[in-house]
Structure 1
Amino acid sequence: MPRIVELLVSPLHRYEGRPADGPAPVPDGAPDDELVGRIAVRARLGITGDRYFGKTAHRDAAVTLIASESLPPGVGLIQVRRNILLQGVDVDSMVGRTLTLDSGSGPVSFEVRRRANPCAWMDVVIGPGAFRALRGRGGIRCVPVNDGELRLGPVDVVTS
């Protein structure tokens, strides 16, 4: 059965500048852990509290998803900086489709606009060769179609 394994809400960009300099630290006053148990999704805006929420430049890419099967053991959303980590769902094959997830609070639909290509940061935060290994498996960038909530655990998945 498909599952939502991790959820990430980050109020800031952590991968800015040169990868060799390392990720930006979590600023004072920010939550210590960007991994959460549930997220609130808003139609056409993104995830409440996330760095891309309501940003014009990210209107076609407000929410990112990746499959756990694409990642090496022990690697999760903290490293790849996607919002939703799904297990048992081939998200990379869904570009151009609508993906609907229901974790028990009602369906949340996403228009899958494009791939979320990996960047050079992957070689720094995961390990040498990760950037190349994630090509074509870096997840997807989506626009939420409706308001809703998603939480960790089993999820019903419908595509159209």
Structure 2
Amino acid sequence: MQILHIYLSPEHNFFGHHGQPAGTAPMIEVPEVECVAGKGLVGDRFFGWKEDYKGQITFFEHEQYERLCEKFSVIDVPPSAFRRNIITKGIDLNTLIGVEFEVQGIRFLGTQESTPCYWMNQAFAEGAEDALKGHGGLRAKILSNGILRKS
């Protein structure tokens, strides 16, 4: 698995905002991030959020980003719009649901699809929520400590 982008955000824009306007916290691209087992990514909004949280880290396929850009003729929205932490290339993330896997010496457990929500229509393009069903990315638990870097 190649890592193209690593994103963190100190605050939630959509999570907990149902029925309210979206937040404005940016996704900040970093060259590396510290993964803490059972806690999440240092500096991210979900770090230590709750015990045994299934989404301590999220992954998203660059190939899906490219597919959506083509489908909706989008040329000016970056992959950070999906608010996933790690943008990957070269792997079908759905194959990692329910599977322990390793990236750069760090162990993860794929827990479930990172289900797209209606905010995707606002953040990326109208229709993005439906187009992402089954391809919304991967939520995972962090099983070992380490530093994850763009590769």
- The TM-score with structure 1 as length reference comes to 0.80
Counting matched residue pairs gives 141
Q: CA deviation at 1:17?
A: 3.6
Structure 2 residue runs of 5 or longer lacking an equivalent are 70-74
Partner of 1:50: 44
* Deviation string, structure 1 residues 80-115 (Cα, Å, up to 9, x no partner): 11111101111122111012111xxxx011111111
Partner of 1:101: 103
Aligned to 2:63, the other structure's residue is in SS state helix
Structure 1 residue runs of 5 or longer lacking an equivalent are 27-31, 154-160
Q: CA deviation at 1:33?
A: 5.7
- In the alignment, structure 1 residue 3 sits paired with structure 2 residue 12: no
- In the alignment, structure 1 residue 64 sits paired with structure 2 residue 64: no
The separation in 2 between residues aligned to 1:58 and 1:78, in whole angstroms, is 25
CA RMSD of the aligned region, Å? 1.8
Aligned to 1:53, the other structure's residue is in SS state coil
Partner of 1:131: 129
The separation in 2 between residues aligned to 1:57 and 1:126, in whole angstroms, is 31
**Which moves more between the two structures, 71-80 or 125-134?**
71-80
Amino acid aligned to 2:42: T
> Sequence identity of aligned pairs in percent?
27
The separation in 1 between residues aligned to 2:94 and 2:147, in whole angstroms, is 22
